Amino acid sequence: MQSIEDKIVSRIYGRGRGWSFSPNDFAGDFSRTNIDKALSKLTKQGTIRRIYRGIYDYPKYSELLKQNLSPDYDQVAQAFARKFNWRIQPTGDAALNLLGLSTQVPGRAIYLSDGPSRSYAILDTFTLEFKKSALKEIGFKTRESGLVVQALKALGKERIDEHVITTLKERLDAKVRKKVLKETVTATGWIYDAIKRICKEGS
């Protein structure tokens, strides 16, 4: 029989390196006492890392640097969202980075949220900021819809060129493009015009 600790670590391994999580991610199957004991032991062993109060990650490791890499800010944001049952939407530099429109990893990642406005310093790596926002900003069913809208908004109308259109077109497969086109119809005019170019069939 697998121990509870073995079951939890197996689930962590299954999500792969870079995954961030909280005890809540295991609460449906195990008692809080057993979860806390397992996570405490795994942290002491160096298998996982405590990156904020109640938030952990299974860190990516660099063979070249011989050390763990910084946490993945988007994974951390999603861990907070699951923990507090928030809906979130990356914005600004975070959205640009996640869509490949910027190679610079932001030192402050800002997410719109239907929860309270909060800010969290994650290790010495980055600050994660959640801004309370209207539901219309974060109410898209498809994650990519909100990402594209926020990325275009961050760039501004004058910076939407063929490189941006092509990059986003290549990022989204045909099925996703159809969903994005349908879900963003209420977006600001120039943003939706750009989305129509991104999602145009047969190109």
pLDDT digits (tens, 9 = 90+) for 98-128: 999 998 888 999 999 999 999 999 999 999 9
What pLDDT was estimated at residue 174? 93
Residue 202 pLDDT grade (very low, low, confident, very high; cuts 50, 70, 90):
low
Compute the distance between CA of residue 76 and CA of residue 165 in angstroms, rounded to an integer.
Answer: 29
Q: Which residues of 146-163 are buried (b: 16+ CB within 10 A; e: fewer)?
A: bbbbbbbbbbeeeebeee
Residue 137 is predicted with a pLDDT of: 74
Angle between helix 189-199 and helix 162-171 axes, rounded to 10 deg: 60
For the chain, domains (ranges, CATH) are: 4-68 (1.10.10), 92-199 (no CATH)
Element (H, E) at 56: strand 55-57
- In this predicted model, what pLDDT tens digit does every residue of 5-45 receive, in sequence order? 899 999 999 999 999 999 999 999 999 999 999 999 999 99
**pLDDT above 90 for 3:** no
For the chain, how are helix, strand and coil distributed in percent, rounded to 5?
A: 50, 15, 35
Q: Which residue shows structure tokens 């961030």? A: 20
Residue of 124, 130, 141 lying closest to 92 (CA atoms) = 130
Q: Is the pLDDT of residue 134 over 60?
A: yes
pLDDT of residue 30: 94
pLDDT tens track for 48-82 = 999 999 999 999 999 999 999 999 999 999 999 99
The predicted structure's pLDDT at residue 1: 59
pLDDT at 4: 87
| Average pLDDT over all residues of the chain | 94
pLDDT score, position 201: 67
Report whether 24 contacts 39 (CB < 8 A). no
Residue 39, C-beta contacts closer than 8 angstroms, at least 6 positions apart: 8, 23, 48, 56
pLDDT exceeds cutoff 70 at 203:
no
Q: For position 59, what pLDDT does the model report?
A: 97
Per-residue pLDDT tens digits for 149-194 = 999 999 999 999 999 999 999 999 999 999 999 999 999 999 999 9
